[in-house]
Amino acid sequence: MSEKWIAPVSIIFAGVIFFACTYDKSELEKYVKEKYPAEEAVNVTLDYTEFGEPKIKVKAGKMTRYEKPENFTLLTQGVNVLFFDSAGNVQSEINCEIAELYQDKALMIAKHNVIVKDLFENKQLRTEQLIWDQKKEIIHTNSEVEIITADEIIRGEGFEADQQFTKYKIKKINGTIKVTEDES
């Protein structure tokens, strides 16, 4: 008598297992987008132009782009950003180890060994973190900074400048060292 029930119970059990294992495709897609990058690339160069003229060039050893929870791109393995003047010459550059690009906010956060150079005036900024606000066309930080020019080294905390690094201000200056050439 118990053998009569084996086939119907097996069919019901198989049906329960089959329907329990179905998934919601939209939930799976949401999970994948939140946990994994949308794209990755190595040795990347991104060119930004305006009316065919170069404005900005970004190079990185590796690029990883995420769509969720926020649309952002992570640049690693060395990052170099070049800013061009109206004549197409490189005016300034930012170098760092890591950069986060937030496309929706038009922000870039440069981290670790950040160096900004004004190539026309031969000056340099060193810090550990720098934020580039593309909408306002400024770079700024609340971290410690060191600015090196031909005749002085200025150390301070907090900094703001135009994105070409031609005009700047340090919020809290900690020290200034005059640099002179040895006349021996």
The model's pLDDT over 92-143, given as tens digits with 9 standing for 90+, comes to 899 999 999 998 899 999 999 999 998 888 899 999 999 999 899 999 999 9
Cα-based distances in Å from 160 to 26, 51, 125, 168, 171:
44, 28, 11, 6, 8
DSSP class per residue in 122-160: TEEEEEEEEEEETTTTEEEEEEEEEEE-SSEEEEEEEEE
Convert the pLDDT of each residue in 76-96 to its tens digit.
999 999 989 889 999 889 999
Convert the pLDDT of each residue in 2-52 to its tens digit.
566 665 556 665 555 555 555 555 665 555 556 678 899 999 999 989 998
Please give the average per-residue pLDDT across 65-74, as a whole number: 86
In this prediction the pTM is 0.74
CATH code of the domain occupying 38-178: 2.60.450.10
Q: Please report the pLDDT score of residue 26 as a whole number.
A: 64
Q: Please report the pLDDT score of residue 183 as a whole number.
A: 43
35-62 in b/e form (b: 16+ CB < 10 A) is eeeeeeeeebeeeeeeeeebebbbbbee
Q: Pick from 178, 105, 94: which is nearest to 135 by CA? A: 105
pLDDT at residue 184 greater than cutoff 50: no
